[in-house]
């Protein structure tokens, strides 16, 4: 069983030693620069920076998947090469991951959404070297990865402003139905109608696929003639605010 197959199962071996359970810090040491990756087809590659802010070396592995986090990465066949896929990062040091598109066909009329995974496995603690029992955890991070074909109409930055909104009632509750006529994904982190602390709102986060729809349940009943205010994320993970009339 290789490192990735073993670690991705989120191994956690918890054993008792001298009648007590050892408590280890349960946080990742390797941080990723950015919250999403956008790969424009015209680019030869994109890069991703990993930095070890911890006090010990860390072993990392990166890969892409189609959205099912439980799939064994060795069974995936995606047209991207990640280099290095496996890296040891020393404390205070960084590692640049290069991602290149190998050219196999993907959708050309809209963005393709994949997920970038980073698995971090810390070194064995000193207690393990002395033969004592210990707890070891693997930490996995997942980022949205957008492949953007060349020649798509419009601009991704304009996509949120092109969303159309309807207010419907489902099971006695107000629901915002949002439609996306563009070839770009739009991530919505919140939406509300009206102002004030008690304004009907949606704050669970969602994403509207290209030429797709999403239903956003509100926390209360909303007036049918109001305006919807909403916040989206741009290519850099920055929050952008918009207003739109209900249709």
Long-range contacts of 107-112, Cβ-Cβ distance < 8 Å, separation of 24 or more: 107/149, 108/149, 108/151, 109/149, 109/152, 109/183, 110/149, 110/152, 110/183, 110/184, 110/210, 110/211, 111/146, 111/147, 111/148, 111/149, 111/152, 111/183, 111/184, 111/185, 111/210, 112/146, 112/147
| Predicted model pTM | 0.85
Mean pLDDT of 60-65: 97
> What's the chain's average pLDDT?
88
Q: Is residue 5 part of a domain?
A: no
What is the predicted pLDDT for the residue at 122?
79
What is the predicted pLDDT for the residue at 15?
31
In this predicted structure, which of 17-31, 66-80, 81-95, 177-191 has the lowest mean pLDDT?
17-31
Do 164 and 120 share a domain, yes or no? no
What is the predicted pLDDT for the residue at 126?
63
pLDDT band at 135 (very low <50, low <70, confident <90, very high): low
Q: Is residue 142 part of a domain?
A: yes
pLDDT band at 124 (very low <50, low <70, confident <90, very high): confident
Q: Do the beta carbons of residue 60 and residue 86 sit within 8 Å?
A: yes
pLDDT > 70? residue 90 = yes
pLDDT > 70? residue 47 = yes
pLDDT band at 196 (very low <50, low <70, confident <90, very high): confident
Do 47 and 144 share a domain, yes or no? yes
Do 142 and 34 share a domain, yes or no? yes
What is the predicted pLDDT for the residue at 123?
76
Residue that wins the pLDDT comparison between 62 and 25: 62
What is the predicted pLDDT for the residue at 26?
55
Which has the closest alpha carbon to 246: 191, 203, 182? Answer: 191
pLDDT band at 134 (very low <50, low <70, confident <90, very high): low
Do 36 and 140 share a domain, yes or no? yes
Do 85 and 111 share a domain, yes or no? yes
For residue 158, give the 3-state DSSP assignment: helix
Q: Which residues are CB-contacts of 80 (< 8 A; sequence separation ≥ 6)?
A: 39, 64, 99, 100, 101, 102, 114
The domain total for the chain is 2
Do 189 and 81 share a domain, yes or no? no
* Token couple for 159: 């996509």
Mean pLDDT of 162-178: 96
Domain that holds residue 39: 30-125+133-148
pLDDT band at 94 (very low <50, low <70, confident <90, very high): very high
pLDDT band at 105 (very low <50, low <70, confident <90, very high): very high
């Amino acid at each position: 069983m290789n490192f990735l197959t073993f670690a991705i199962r989120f191994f956690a071996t918890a054993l008792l030693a001298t009648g007590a359970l050892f408590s280890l810090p349960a946080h990742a040491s390797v941080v990723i620069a950015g919250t999403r990756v956008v790969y424009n087809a015209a680019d030869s590659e994109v890069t991703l920076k990993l930095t070890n802010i911890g006090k010990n070396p860390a072993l990392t592995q990166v890969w892409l998947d189609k959205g099912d986090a439980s799939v064994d990465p060795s069974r995936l066949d995606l047209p991207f090469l990640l280099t290095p896929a496996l890296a040891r990062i020393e404390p205070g040091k960084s590692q640049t991951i290069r991602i290149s598109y190998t050219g196999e066909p993907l959708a050309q009329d809209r963005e393709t959404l994949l997920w970038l995974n980073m698995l971090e496995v810390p070194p064995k603690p000193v207690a393990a070297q002395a033969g004592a029992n210990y707890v070891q955890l693997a930490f996995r991070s997942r980022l949205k990865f957008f492949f953007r074909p060349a020649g798509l109409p419009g601009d991704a930055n304009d996509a949120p402003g092109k969303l159309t909104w309807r207010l419907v009632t489902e099971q006695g509750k107000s629901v915002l139905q949002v439609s996306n006529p563009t070839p770009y994904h739009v991530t919505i982190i919140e939406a509300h109608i009206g102002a004030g602390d008690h304004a009907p709102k949606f704050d669970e986060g969602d994403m509207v696929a290209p030429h797709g729809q999403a239903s956003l349940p509100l926390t209360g009943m909303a007036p049918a003639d109001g305006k919807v205010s909403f916040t989206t994320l741009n290519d850099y993970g920055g929050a952008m605010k918009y207003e739109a009339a209900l249709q």
